[in-house]
Amino acid sequence: MLDISKRIELINSLLEQDTEQSLTYAALESRLTLEYLCYERFRLYFSYLSESDLKNWQPKHIIKQISGEVDDNVAREFSISISDERIDGRLPETKEEFESIKYTPLGNQPELNLNKLHKLWNSVSNVALHIPVPSISSDSINIYGDKDKIREKVSEVVVFLSNIKGNLLVSGSFGKEYSFNCFVCDTKIKRPVSSLQQKTALSCINPKCQESYVIQKDKHDNFEVIRNVIKFTCLGCNEELEVPIRAFKDLRFNQILNIRCGNCSTLSEVIMRPLMKSTEAENSHNKALQRTSR
C-alpha cells in the first residue's frame, strides 16, 4: 500500500520551492500519486478481471468497472476484525451468534472518492502538464502554466491525499464465487456469483491467452460456460476449426489470419472484410422454410 505521507511530503517540498519548474513537477507527482491509488487497488483484482476486458484505461474508470463487475467494496471504506472464538466448541452460525463473540480489529480500508479523484487528476494536468494550443489571439507560447493556478490545484490534491486514512486494502469478494479453469491454458477464472446473474462475457485473465467465454445460467439454474469462438471449416479435410474470437479483435481491413488445421495441417487464410447480408432475403428464406416444414 502506498505510503501517502511520503508522497505528500514530496509534493509539499516542491510547492515550497515555488518555481515554475517545481510547481509543474509537483503537478506531475500529484497526478502520478492519484493514478497509483487506483492502480494499486486494480492490481488486487487481477485474478478477477482480465486486462483485455478493461473498457477504459483511465484510473477512475478501471475502479468503477471493478466495482460494477466484481465487487463494489473496492472503493469503499470499511474495517475488518477477526475472531477465533467458538460457541460451545463450534463455529458461530447465526447473525446473533456472530454478533455476540469478541473480535480483534485488523484495520480499515480507506474510501476512494472516485469522482473527486478524477476531477483533480484532470485539473492538475490542465493547469500544468499541457501547453495550451496557440491561437491567433494568443501573443506567445509559454512552456509553463500559471503558477497560482498550479499551486491551487496541487494544494487541493494534497488536501485530498491527507484525508485518505487507512492501513489496508482488501481484494476479492465477500460472497460466494464461481470459478472454472480456462479450457485452453488452464488458468483459474473466477467471479462473484452475484455478478453473474445476467449473461456475462469475460476473457481469460492470462495475458498470453486469447480465450474468452460467455457465462450464463442453464434451465436448472447452473452456470454454463461457453467458449467464445468463430467456427470455420478446414479446406483440406472439412474438420471444424475453432478460432478464439479475440484473435480477430485487433485485425484491420484486409488483414489475414492464418489458421493451421490440427487434423490435416492444411493452412487456411481468413481475411478481414466487410460482409453484406440482406435481412430481407433471410426473412423470406425463413418463411420458405416454415412453409416447407408444414
Task: Note the residues at the interface with Zn ion (CB under 5 A).
Answer: 182, 185, 187, 204, 206, 209, 211, 234, 236-237, 239, 261, 263-264, 266
Minimum gap (Å) between residue 53 Cβ and Zn ion:
13
Q: For Zn ion, which is the closer residue by CB, 150 or 205? A: 205
Minimum gap (Å) between residue 207 Cβ and Zn ion:
10
Handedness of CA 246, 247, 250, 255 (dihedral sign): negative
Q: For Zn ion, which is the closer residue by CB, 66 or 182? A: 182
Minimum gap (Å) between residue 264 Cβ and Zn ion:
3
Q: For Zn ion, which is the closer residue by CB, 150 or 209? A: 209
Q: What are the backbone dihedrals phi and psi of residue 189, each rounded to the nearest 5 degrees, phi first?
A: -120, 130
Minimum gap (Å) between residue 225 Cβ and Zn ion:
12
Q: For Zn ion, which is the closer residue by CB, 4 or 209? A: 209
Phi-psi region of 94 (alpha: psi -120 to 50; beta: other; left: phi over 0): beta
* CA–CA gap between residue 121 and residue 3 (Å, rounded): 19
Half-sphere exposure of 6 (CA within 13 A, CB side): 3
Q: For Zn ion, which is the closer residue by CB, 23 or 182? A: 182
First to last CA, the chain: 68
Minimum gap (Å) between residue 212 Cβ and Zn ion:
9
What distances in angstroms separate CA 94 from CA 80, 131, 198, 239, 242, one per listed residue?
19, 61, 30, 56, 49
